[in-house]
Structure 1
Amino acid sequence: MDGETITALHGEALSNGAIARWLGVSKHTVALWIKCHDDTGQTLHQLGAGRPRCTMPAQDRAIAAIILNRHFTTAPSTRKELGLACTPQKIRNRHHSHDLHAHIPTKKTHLTEVDMERHLKYELEYAEKPTCFWEDVVYCDEKTFSTDERTTTRVWRRRNER
């Protein structure tokens, strides 16, 4: 659908309502294109129309670089790191424009025999340690956790990518 089609149909003496139904747009849209053609004599889309972007192309590239290097980062932390004045949703929109979407990470595999043997070896090595030592022990292959937030962990990645 473009302005030329609307003005051509208008030139064939079709009403705004008939043109709107034919093209599947609102009557208001048809009226605006016809008014634009009557005022300027053309139906070209004006570049730069609309709200200005809150980020520059260099900032967009910096946002993409952060996400591509650190998949687990969040939009607010990216905004804070780059010192941007836009909202976190704008940052997420920039991710989406690079075909990056927030997904829940894949499930971790269960412990293998080798992992359990390594754990046992470690435990036997430090068996004499007091109970307070063992309260802080978390094996890196057992649990994913966050010490700063209580939200679901998200990973930014492209579709069908692991």
Structure 2
Amino acid sequence: MNTTQQHLTTRGQIIALRQEGLTVRAIADRLAVSTSTVKRWIRRYAETVAIRNNPFSNTVAVREALHLDVCAQTVRSRLHEASIQHRVLAIKERLTEQHRTGRLQFAQQYVGEDLEFWSRVVFTDEKTFASTNHSKIHLWRPNRTR
């Protein structure tokens, strides 16, 4: 096993032992590593889990929720190390032939209606509705996922 694989194994053991309820000191003694190493990997794991549980959160909110004594850039760096990237939600899908056909049928059905009727028509795939924030939606997610 090379050094990188040993480090990954140790990190996994730290998290597993912590989830079993062991203290930081007990984990450090069992794995023959420093307590600061154990604390570091527990904190980094907590940051990653927090973003995965709430991908629409930002790094400042994660830092505050976990009571971390680090800057938001550090949280961002740890997320990037875990292959979790900041993204803006994907652009809406393009109209399909089914959409076009449905719209045409609707228009033909109501061809005699006046402008007031048509001013109230909105196709649900044409407009995004929001009751609060009208800006782009940001989120965190692993690479190559939707």
Which is helix-richer, 1 or 2? 2
If the length of structure 2 is used for normalisation, what is the TM-score?
0.46
**Which of 1 and 2 has higher RCO (CA within 8 Å, sep 6+)?**
2
Larger Rg: 1
If the length of structure 1 is used for normalisation, what is the TM-score?
0.42
